C-alpha cells in the first residue's frame, strides 16, 4: 500500500509545527524520516497515522483519504509504534501484544486461532517469546520497545509508522528490528536519529527541518555534507560503502 501526504499543515495556536509537507512512500518501501529534535518527525507521523487531524492537506493510504475511513478500518491496515509508551497497569507482555488484535476483534468475540498465530509470530519476531508471561513493568527499556513493535506486528498491518523504534535498543536489536521492518512485506515510515542506520536500511529518506521538508531522495542523494552541516549542524565526512552505494557518515570530533 502506498502512503501519500499532500501539503500537510498542522500546528498549535501561534505555532505551525508541520508546514506544507508532501511525501510519498511507494508500496513496500521503507521511508526514513530524519531531522533534529523538534523538527516535527513525531507530529508528522501522527498526522500520517490519522491520530491528529491536519489543519490543511490530506493523507492518502492506498489512494484513499484517511479522513474518510473509520478508525477501526484504518487500524486494521495501519500500525503505529509511539516514541515512549508507558502505563501503570500491571499487564504482562502477552497482554500488551494481544492488544494488537483489538481492531480485528468484535466486541465479545472469542480468541481465535488467527489471533493466537499472529501474537505468537509477533513475539517470535522480536525475540520475546520466552518472556511472554513477564510483567511489562519489569522489562528493560529496550525490551519494552520490542514488545511494542511486536504489538504492531500482531496488528498484521500493511503500513507501519515507527517513531524512533531503535530507541533504547542494543546494536544487535537495532539492526535486527530495522532489517525485519525492511524485509517485511509492508510500507513503512520510520523516524530515526541514527543517520548511519537510516542510510543502511531506508530506501529513501525525507529530511525535516523546522516542520518543512528540506530534502527527499535516496540515502546517497540526501545524506550530503552540506545537508548535515546546514540541518544537523555537524561537520562530517560522507563516504560510499561497498554495498550498493549506501553512504557512511563519519563525524569529526572537532
Partner 1 sequence: MASDAPDAPGDGATRLVLFLCLSLVVLTIAVAAATAIGDYNIAPRTVVLSVTNELGLTGADIAPIEQSVVWNLRLSRALVAALAGAGLAICGAILQALLRNALAEPFVLGVSAGASTGAVCVIVLGIGAGSLSLSLGAFAGAFAAFALVALLSNGATSGPNHTILAGVAASQLFNALTSYIVTTSGNAQQARDVMFWLLGSFGGVRWPDFQLLLAVVIGGLGVCIWMARSLDAFTFGDEDAAALGVPVARIRLVLFGVTALLTATIVSMVGAIGFVGLVVPHAARYVVGPLHLRLLPACAVVGAVFMVVADIAARVIATQQTVPIGVVTALVGVPFFAIILYRARPQA
Which residues of the chain form contacts with partner 1 (CB under 8 A)? Answer: 46, 49, 51, 70-76, 79-80, 82, 85-92, 94-96, 98-100, 102-103, 105, 107-108, 111, 116, 120, 133, 135, 137-138, 155
Look at residue 35 and give the partner it binds from partner 1, Mg ion, ligand ATP, none, a contact being a CB closer than 5 to 8 Å depending on partner kind.
ligand ATP
Q: Which of 19, 24, 42, 210 binds Mg ion (CB under 5 A)?
A: 42
Joined grid coordinates for residue 218: 535516496
Stretch of 40-48, 89-97, 135-143, 197-205 lying at the interface with Mg ion (CB under 5 A): 40-48
Cα(19)–Cα(194) distance, integer angstroms: 24
Site for ligand ATP in 2-61 (CB under 6 A): 12, 17, 35, 37-43
86 is a site residue for ligand ATP (CB under 6 A): no
CB of 45 to Mg ion, least distance (A): 8
Look at residue 226 and give the partner it binds from Mg ion, partner 1, ligand ATP, none, a contact being a CB closer than 5 to 8 Å depending on partner kind.
none
Joined grid coordinates for residue 229: 552541516
Nearer to ligand ATP, 77 or 167 (CB): 167
Pairing of β 236-240 and β 247-251 = antiparallel
Nearer to partner 1, 160 or 213 (CB): 160
Nearer to partner 1, 152 or 198 (CB): 152
Q: Which residues of 168-182 are buried (b: 16+ CB within 10 A; e: fewer)?
A: bbeeebbebbbeebb
- What is the total count of residues that contact ligand ATP (CB under 6 A)? 10
165 is a site residue for ligand ATP (CB under 6 A): no
Closest-by-Cβ residue to Mg ion is 42
**161 alpha carbon, distance to own chain's centre:** 3
**Cβ-based neighbours of 211, under 8 Å, separated by 6 or more:** 16, 17, 18, 19, 21, 39, 40, 43
Nearer to partner 1, 121 or 214 (CB): 121
Look at residue 86 and give the partner it binds from Mg ion, partner 1, ligand ATP, none, a contact being a CB closer than 5 to 8 Å depending on partner kind.
partner 1
Binding site for ligand ATP (CB under 6 A): 12, 17, 35, 37-43
Binding site for Mg ion (CB under 5 A): 41-42
Amino acid at each position: 500500500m502506498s502512503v501519500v501526504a499532500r501539503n500537510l499543515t498542522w500546528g498549535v495556536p501561534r505555532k505551525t509545527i508541520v508546514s506544507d509537507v508532501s511525501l510519498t512512500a511507494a508500496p513496500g518501501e521503507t521511508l526514513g524520516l530524519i531531522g533534529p529534535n523538534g523538527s516535527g518527525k513525531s507530529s508528522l507521523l501522527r498526522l500520517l497515522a490519522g491520530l491528529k487531524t491536519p489543519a490543511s492537506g490530506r493523507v492518502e493510504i492506498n489512494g484513499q483519504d484517511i479522513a474518510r475511513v473509520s478508525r477501526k478500518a484504518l487500524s486494521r491496515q495501519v500500525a503505529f509504534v509511539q516514541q515512549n509508551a508507558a502505563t501503570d497497569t500491571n499487564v504482562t507482555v502477552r497482554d500488551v501484544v494481544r492488544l494488537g488484535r483489538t481492531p480485528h476483534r468484535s466486541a465479545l468475540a472469542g480468541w481465535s486461532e488467527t489471533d493466537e498465530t499472529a501474537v505468537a509470530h509477533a513475539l517470535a519476531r522480536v525475540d520475546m517469546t520466552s518472556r511472554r508471561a513477564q510483567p511489562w513493568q519489569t522489562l528493560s527499556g529496550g525490551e519494552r520497545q520490542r514488545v511494542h513493535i511486536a504489538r504492531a506486528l500482531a496488528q498484521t498491518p500493511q503500513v507501519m509508522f515507527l517513531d524512533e523504534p531503535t530507541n533504547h535498543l542494543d546494536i544487535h536489536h537495532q539492526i535486527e528490528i530495522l532489517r525485519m521492518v525492511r524485509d517485511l512485506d509492508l510500507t513503512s515510515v520510520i523516524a530515526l536519529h541514527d543517520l548511519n542506520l537510516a542510510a543502511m536500511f531506508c530506501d529513501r529518506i525525507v529530511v525535516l527541518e523546522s516542520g518543512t521538508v528540506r530534502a527527499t531522495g535516496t540515502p546517497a542523494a540526501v545524506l550530503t555534507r552540506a545537508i548535515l552541516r546546514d540541518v544537523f549542524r555537524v561537520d562530517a565526512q560522507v563516504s560510499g560503502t561497498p554495498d550498493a552505494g549506501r553512504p557512511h557518515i563519519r563525524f569529526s570530533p572537532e
